[in-house]
Amino acid sequence: MTETFRDARAPIDALRKRGRNLTESFFLSLIRLLGSVGALILFAILFFVAYNGIHILSWEFITQPPLDAMTKGGIFPVIVGTVLLTMLCMIVVMPIGVTTAIFLSEYAKPGLLLKIVMMSIYTLAGVPSVVFGLFGLAVFVVTLNFGMSLLAGSLTLAIMVLPYIISTSEEALKAVPYSFKEASLACGATKWQTIRKVILPTALPGILTGAILGTAKVSGETAPIMFTAAAFFTTGLPRSVFEPVMALPYHIYVLATAGTHIEETRPIQYGTALTLIVLVLGMNLLGIILRSRQRKKRAW
Amino acid sequence: MVAGKNIFELKDFSFYYGDFLAVKSVNLGIEARKITAIIGPSGCGKSTLLRSLNRMNDLILTSRVEGEVLFHGVDIYRKDTDVIELRKRVGMVFQKPNPFPSSVYENVCYGPRIRGIKKKSQLDEIVENALVRADLWKEVKDKLHESGMSLSGGQMQRLCIARSLAQEPEVLLFDEPTSALDPISTANIENLLQELRKTITIVIVTHNMQQAARISDYTAFMYLGELIEFGETDTIFVNPYNKLTEEYITGRFG
Ligand SMILES: Nc1ncnc2c1ncn2[C@@H]1O[C@H](COP(=O)(O)OP(=O)(O)O)[C@@H](O)[C@H]1O
Ligand SMILES: [Mg+2]
């Protein structure tokens, strides 16, 4: 009896399965196609910039200041400016971001307040970067009177990247197995000892990966530094955090849109763009490699 | 049983998860330097009861207790209890071996270190002692600085036992410590428990009735949050007083 029943159903099952396979393979092909388009665009941009910029890249280009109204020379202060902006930004944002993440994942009690805080963070992450630029202008440059400066720019970038650092750190902290926490507490550790000795060290690789990807994000931003830190041209390197700096993304913007030498400086524009892309992609790559290595290495 | 010999004494102890009553008014004494086994079908409140003894249930925000758990005659649920000190004296080993992702050495000296012991020679001694007592020293003495997670399952569990022993606890609580292990590793741990009993009070939750019969001095049988029967293991397994107990140990349900 049961056997006949099963036999009768078999062809229907087979049919249904084939239908499912068809839709599945259709969507798989679609995803593959769209994925390849994305990769293709990336390679096209890379190729375009590299093709136009590679011949100007040289040791002199990255170690010398711009000369002759920026039509000649290199981009040394521009690179230094971006590195300083990024570093100062990360120095400010990491302690705040990680502390907030610890609070959110370990201390905050679930409830309305936590929901509102999380919503704010997610919303903040979606705000266009030019809005952060205006905010930085109003708060750091004008109200706090830092002027157009390295400090004002770094703080603005820090605020912009803060939600990203909080959420990547929180994710890393949440990925620490509950059993580690239990083991630590059962050994008579306090909550803070558990966080410091077990949870943070275990989450550290994930937090650092977030920091590297955040650095890559920050170093390529133009809008937040446009009104707060970036100088058209400086004669040398900044001597204090209250001085404006040149920066890679802004330098490209300036050379390509302002002044009387737009055509003459094309090679420098492409060279600067290439430098920036290499920097950002390099950091992204490092972050992605680190992340995949952690995932593989993770023994729990 | 003489009350004075009991290191733990539960008095009308109840435990709630929110509104759900998981342990119902349990009265139970746990004798020092003996092995007490807690058995019963899954979900009957064994782990909850065990974790109430070192207040690991404090982690659950909605939980609530009634009654008393006396440790050396003092209620550990009093407001002024030093939970940190309690957990040092009442250690715990979990179902799934959970060494930290650090070296064997660092795993064992985790407790002593957070108590401020820094001297290398002293830590070395603590680590060796604990590993010897956990019957693991011979196997790991040449790889003290390798990851604790690179050990086999049974070795990891003994490492977790060593980590607890490094605190010189008076009581060790075991929550199904062998349920994730193979028979040989299980036998090793059972032998180890027999050895530890000479110096330490042991409470073990087990799913495995043969294990309870093999290693314990006293057995508590729980069902739906209630303590149905408690007594010497030989009596419980040979001549249970309660019909439910008899049905459970003869395998008619569970
Ligand atoms: N954190 C929790 N929140 C709510 N209910 C829980 C929680 N932990 C366990 N319980 C419930 O309490 C009862 C007893 O659980 P437990 O003590 O883990 O049983 P056992 O160890 O005997 O299998 C079960 O019904 C379980 O669903
Ligand atoms: Mg359990």
pLDDT tens digits, residue range B209-252?
A: 999 999 999 999 999 999 999 999 999 999 888 889 988 988 87
Q: What is the pLDDT of residue A299?
A: 59
Pairwise CA distance, residues B81 & B90, whole Å: 13
B94–A184 CB contact, under 8 Å: no
Pairing of strands B63-71, B6-17: antiparallel
pLDDT tens digits, residue range B115-173?
A: 999 999 999 999 999 999 999 999 999 999 999 999 999 999 999 999 999 999 999 99
Task: Using the atom order of ligand 1, give the atom closest to the CA of residue B205.
Answer: 21
Closest to B106 in 3D by CA, of B136, B141, B135, B147? B147
Is A240 buried (19+), middle (13-18) or exposed (0-12) by CB count in 10 A?
Answer: exposed
Strand-by-strand arrangement of the B74-75 sheet:
B20-31, B6-17, B63-71, B74-75
Q: What is the ipTM of this complex?
A: 0.91
Q: What are the 10-residue block averages of pLDDT along chain A, 300 residues in total?
A: 46 58 83 89 89 84 77 81 92 96 90 89 90 94 90 95 95 94 95 95 92 91 87 77 84 81 81 89 87 73
Query: Would you say how long chain B is, in residues?
Result: 254
Q: Which residues of A touch B94 (CB under 8 A)?
A: 179, 182-183, 186
Pairwise CA distance, residues B163 & B120, whole Å: 17
B94–A180 CB contact, under 8 Å: no
How many other C-beta atoms can be found within 10 angstroms of the C-beta atom of residue A23? 9
A34: which residues sit within 8 A by CB, 6+ positions away?
Answer: none
Count Cβ–Cβ pairs < 8 Å, chain A vs chain B: 66
How many other C-beta atoms can be found within 10 angstroms of the C-beta atom of residue A45? 12
Is A11 an 8 Å CB contact of chain B?
no
Is B88 in contact with B165 (CB distance < 8 Å)?
no
Residue A66 tokens read as 């711009």
Helix-strand-coil split of chain A, %, nearest 5: 75, 0, 20
Q: What is the pLDDT of residue A3?
A: 42
Give phi and psi for A72, each to the nearest 5: -135, -175
Domains of chain B: 6-249 (3.40.50.300)
Test the B interface: residue of A106, A179, A181, A187 with most B CBs within 10 Å: A187
Find the largest Cα–Cα distance for chain B.
Answer: 57
Strand-by-strand arrangement of the B171-175 sheet:
B90-93, B171-175, B201-205, B35-39, B218-223, B226-232
B84–A190 CB contact, under 8 Å: yes
Pairwise CA distance, residues B103 & B84, whole Å: 24
Question: CA dihedral defined by A213, A107, A178, B227, rounded to 10 degrees?
Answer: -170
Handedness of CA A17, A22, A23, A24 (dihedral sign): positive
Is B189 in contact with B162 (CB distance < 8 Å)?
no
Q: Ligand 1 within 6 A of B45 CB?
A: yes
pLDDT tens digits, residue range B65-115?
A: 999 999 999 999 999 999 999 999 999 999 999 999 999 999 999 999 999
A189–B114 CB contact, under 8 Å: yes
Pairwise CA distance, residues A229 & A82, whole Å: 10
Residue A224 tokens read as 């937040």
